[in-house]
Each structure stands twice: as structure tokens, then as C-alpha cells.
């Protein structure tokens, strides 16, 4: 449903992201808000927002492979680990410039995605889910068992990033690094969805045999989707590693990968807004649980240390199950319905 008075007369208009003057002003306002925000927000809130932005990049990547291409990937956090470790080693040991490390992190993670996504050429569905599950465990195991390179279970320190003479050492400075990169990644993701490659992904998602008949080669596109998805994960992992300043294999568990898929399912797959809604919703819910967990700890004595982990998992599981049962198309679908409603407002159709 388009805004009133907007018509698609050319193909360019049909695929345009920004259509009306209101859109333009909202977009510019939002970008200004994002860039000015760190000046006015406190460090606690900024910290949450930084993690949220990093999660968002990972979930956007996941959306490429699950939402656009219809393949199952349950190893996103392991790919983040690959990116994080690559960047940490290149930056710390070899002293490459930060942005080269960022790109190398994406690339190495993308290659890992290519390797572990290669079963997708032959198998799909549950089989593919199991293959990527295996990838999650194997990658983390390799990191754990190469102590000379990665520090093994002791973890490793990551240097604070700096470039062009600017050193990124405070939370606010990190926000100025992470937010623009996130905006760029969102834009690239949106662009992918309206390009030929994106449409090829969707054709494969809807029916891979039919796609092949129409001249879209499934194998190459599936591998490309895995590469791009892991590339996003690598960028997110690199930002995460430099933001936290410390890497440890246990920080990238299976549970984290499942959370990312959960973000995607709750938000809605196959759109750019879906991952954004899902990440916003579940991260704010988690933060709310973290906020009230000291109160809960009073009613569950004897586990005050793990009350947050327990209740966060419980609520996450509940939310995901409820969404699958009641709104499998995610928050984004509700948002689209709402948009249609207010654009038509006085009339019902």
C-alpha cells in the first residue's frame, strides 16, 4: 500500500526507498538523531545501544541467508567469533589499520561461511540446520584448541581501535564508530533486497527447483547468501571484539546463535524492518528483565547469581514460541498492517 497520491510510473520509482517529502525529512531527521544522540545520552544507555547495533548487524546478515534465501543457518555467533578473532589478531599482532582489519574480519568470516555453508548445495531443511549446528560447535572447538593463535580458553585481549590519529577508547567514541557502520550495513541490506541478486535469493527461497528452471542457479546463489551473511557476522564480530576489548570462545555459544535467529523470527523474516523490530523488541525486553531481576532475586533465594540468565532464557523461549504460534510473520507484518490502516484511515479499503 503506497501513501496517498504516490504512483509508480517507472521501474526506478517502483524500487525507490524514499518516496515522499515526509520520508525524506524523517530519514534526515533520523540520521541527525543517530549522529547527535551520543552527545546527549548517558554511558549506560549508550552501552546498551552499542550492543544493540552490533546485534542488529548480525541479525541483518542472518536475514540474508534465512529471510531472503530461505536457507537455515544456526551458526551466526560462531561466524562472529571468526571475524572477531581475525580482526583482533591482525590489529594486535600485525598492526594493520583498523578499517583494513574490519574488512578482513568480514572476509575471513565470509570464507568460513562459504566453507560451512557448502552443504547447502546438496541438502536443505532440517539437514542444513544440522550442518550449520555442527559448524557452530566445530568453529568454537577449533578456536578453543589453538591456544598459540587465539589464546584458547584463556581468551585474548583486543586493542582499542584507532585510525587517522583518533583513538576510540570511550563508550561515546565507540558509538560514533558503530552507529555509522550500522547505518551503512542497513542501507546495503536494503539494497541487496531490491537487486537482481536479492530477487534471485527470494526465487530460491520460494522454490529452488522452479528458480533453476527460470535460469537462477541455486548453488552459486546459496553459497553467495552464506558468504554475505557470514560477512555481516564478521563485521559485527569485529566491532564486538574491539568494543568489549576481550575475546573468549565461550562468548560465542550456540545459545547466542539461537538468540539471533529468535530476533529474526520475532521481527519478521525477509524484510529490512523485520530484523530492526526484532532486535529492538527483544533487546529492550532483555534489558527490562535485567532491570527487574534484582527484584525477582528476592523471591528465588539461592540463585541470585543466575536469576537473570534463567529468567531471560525463560522469557526469550516463551516469546519466540508465542510468536511462532500466533504471528509467524513477525512484528513487521503487524507494522505493515498498521501502515495500511492509517494510510486508508477513514475508509476500510
Cβ atoms of 196 and 68 within 8 Å: the answer is no
**Least distance from other proteins to the Cβ atom of residue 74, Å:** 8
DSSP string, 42-70: -HHHHHHHHHHHHHHHHHHHHIIIIIIT-
Stretch that binds other proteins, among 103-111, 137-145, 191-199, 274-282 (CB under 8 A): 137-145
70/83 with CB nearer other proteins: 70
Would you tell me how many other CB atoms lie within 10 Å of the CB of residue 144?
15
Q: x/- binding map, residues 82-121, to other proteins, per CB under 8 A?
A: ----------------------------------x-xx--
**Least distance from other proteins to the Cβ atom of residue 83, Å:** 21
If DSSP states are collapsed to H, E and C, what string results for 135-202?
Answer: HHHHHHHHHHCCHHHHCHHHCEECCCCEECCEECCCHHHHHHHHHHHHHHHHHHHHHHHCCHHHHHHH
Q: If binding is defined by CB under 8 A, does position 288 make contact with other proteins?
A: no
**Least distance from other proteins to the Cβ atom of residue 249, Å:** 11
3-class secondary-structure state, position 2? coil
15/138 with CB nearer other proteins: 138
Would you tell me how many other CB atoms lie within 10 Å of the CB of residue 195?
12
**Least distance from other proteins to the Cβ atom of residue 5, Å:** 36
Out of 45, 111, 130, 297, point to the residue binding other proteins (CB under 8 A): 130
Q: If binding is defined by CB under 8 A, does position 123 make contact with other proteins?
A: yes
Question: What grid cell was written down for 179?
Answer: 552507529
What residues between 308 and 337 interact with other proteins by CB under 8 A? 309-321, 324-325, 328
34/297 with CB nearer other proteins: 297
Out of 154, 209, 214, 295, point to the residue binding other proteins (CB under 8 A): 209
4/295 with CB nearer other proteins: 295
How many residues bind other proteins, per CB under 8 A?
Answer: 54
**Least distance from other proteins to the Cβ atom of residue 213, Å:** 8
Q: If binding is defined by CB under 8 A, does position 262 make contact with other proteins?
A: yes
3-class secondary-structure state, position 6? coil
Cβ atoms of 299 and 241 within 8 Å: the answer is no
Non-local CB neighbours of 327 within 8 Å, separated by 6+ positions: 333, 334
Out of 24, 99, 141, 338, point to the residue binding other proteins (CB under 8 A): 141
Q: x/- binding map, residues 146-185, to other proteins, per CB under 8 A?
A: ----------------------------------------
Stretch that binds other proteins, among 26-34, 66-74, 184-192, 277-285 (CB under 8 A): 66-74
Could you give the dihedral angle defined by the CA atoms of residues 230, 32, 1 and 221, in that order, rounded to the nearest 10 degrees?
A: -20
120: left (phi over 0), alpha (psi -120 to 50) or beta: alpha
**Least distance from other proteins to the Cβ atom of residue 298, Å:** 14
**Least distance from other proteins to the Cβ atom of residue 297, Å:** 11
Non-local CB neighbours of 219 within 8 Å, separated by 6+ positions: 121
CA 236 to chain centre: 8
Alpha carbon distances (Å) from 151 to 10, 94, 185, 235 = 56, 16, 30, 21
Where does this chain bind other proteins (CB under 8 A)? 66, 72, 74, 116, 118-119, 122-123, 125-127, 129-131, 133-135, 137-138, 141, 144-145, 207, 209-210, 254-255, 258, 261-262, 265, 269, 300, 302-303, 305-307, 309-321, 324-325, 328
Amino acid at each position: 500500500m503506497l501513501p496517498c497520491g504516490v504512483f509508480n510510473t517507472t521501474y526506478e520509482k517502483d524500487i525507490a526507498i524514499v518516496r515522499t517529502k515526509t520520508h525524506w525529512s524523517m530519514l534526515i531527521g533520523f540520521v541527525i538523531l543517530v549522529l547527535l544522540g551520543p552527545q546527549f545520552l548517558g554511558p549506560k544507555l549508550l552501552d546498551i545501544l552499542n550492543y544493540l547495533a552490533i546485534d542488529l548487524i548480525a541479525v541483518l546478515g542472518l536475514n540474508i541467508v534465512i529471510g531472503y534465501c530461505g536457507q537455515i543457518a544456526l551458526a551466526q555467533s560462531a561466524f562472529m567469533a571468526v571475524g572477531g578473532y581475525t580482526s583482533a589478531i591482525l590489529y594486535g599482532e600485525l598492526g594493520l589499520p583498523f578499517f583494513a582489519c574490519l574488512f578482513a574480519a568480514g572476509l575471513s568470516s565470509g570464507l568460513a561461511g562459504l566453507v560451512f555453508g557448502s552443504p547447502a548445495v546438496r541438502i536443505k531443511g532440517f539437514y542444513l540446520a544440522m550442518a550449520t549446528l555442527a559448524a557452530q560447535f566445530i568453529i568454537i572447538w577449533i578456536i578453543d584448541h589453538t591456544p598459540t593463535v587465539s589464546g584458547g580458553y584463556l581468551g585474548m585481549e583486543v586493542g582499542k581501535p584507532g585510525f587517522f590519529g583518533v583513538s576510540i577508547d570511550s563508550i561515546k567514541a565507540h558509538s560514533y564508530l558503530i552507529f555509522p557502520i550500522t547505518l551503512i550495513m542497513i542501507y546495503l541490506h536494503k539494497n541487496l533486497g531490491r537487486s537482481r541478486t536479492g530477487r534471485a535469493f527470494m526465487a530460491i527461497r520460494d522454490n529452488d527447483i522452479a528458480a533453476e528452471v527460470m535460469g537462477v542457479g541455486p548453488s552459486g546463489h546459496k553459497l553467495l547468501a552464506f558468504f554475505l551473511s557470514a560477512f555481516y557476522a564478521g563485521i559485527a564480530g569485529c566491532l564486538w571484539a574491539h568494543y568489549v576489548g576481550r575475546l573468549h570462545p565461550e562468548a560465542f555459544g550456540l545459545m547466542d546463535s539461537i538468540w539471533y535467529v529468535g530476533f529474526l523470527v520475532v521481527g519478521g523474516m525477509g524484510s529490512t524492518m523485520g530484523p530492526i523490530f526484532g532486535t529492538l523488541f527483544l533487546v529492550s525486553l532483555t534489558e527490562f528483565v535485567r532491570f527487574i531481576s534484582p527484584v525477582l532475586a528476592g523471591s528465588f533465594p539461592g540463585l541470585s547469581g543466575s536469576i537473570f540468565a534463567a529468567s531471560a532464557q525463560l522469557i526469550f523461549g516463551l516469546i519466540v514460541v508465542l510468536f511462532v504460534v500466533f504471528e509467524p510473520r513477525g512484528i513487521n507484518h503487524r507494522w505493515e498492517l498498521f501502515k495500511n490502516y492509517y494510510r486508508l484511515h477513514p475508509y476500510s479499503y
